[in-house]
Amino acid sequence: MKNKIKCKCVNYDYSDLIELLKAISESNRLQIICFLKEKERCVCEIIEALHIQPNLASHHLKALKNIGLLLSRRKGKYIFYKINNKRLNYFLGHFRKVVRGEKE
């Protein structure tokens, strides 16, 4: 008789975590997150720091904002971005639980 192997990972909904991993699997996006970890920044600062074109920066910022990792605000003609710490902590906690095999 074979022993049944039980795994907490089977039939688990990973959709949120998969979306996060897809979003941050691009180098520029990880650099944006790293750049914003200290403080809120203007798009122009992000473009200058990462040496990327404005349309590429907008593309990456939109992807990170769509999954909730970034928050933005407009001040005059400038848009400022910052990390959404509540959402980031949710993702980090969720990832830890999955990797460690802990129950939700």
Burial of 20 (0-12, 13-18, 19+ CB in 10 A): buried
Compute φ and ψ for 52, nearest 5 degrees: -125, 160
Count of residues making up the chain: 104
> How does residue 85 score in pLDDT terms, banded at 50, 70 and 90?
very high
- Span 35-100 CATH architecture: Orthogonal Bundle (1.10)
The percent of residues in the chain predicted with pLDDT above 90, rounded, is 62
- pLDDT of 78 reads 95
5-20 pLDDT tens trace: 565 666 667 788 888 8
Mean pLDDT of the chain: 88
* Residue boundaries of the structural domains of the chain: 35-100
- pLDDT of 8 reads 62
Q: What is the CA 27 to chain-centroid distance, rounded?
A: 12
User: Could you tell me if 78 and 47 are in contact, meaning their C-beta atoms sit under 8 angstroms apart?
Assistant: no
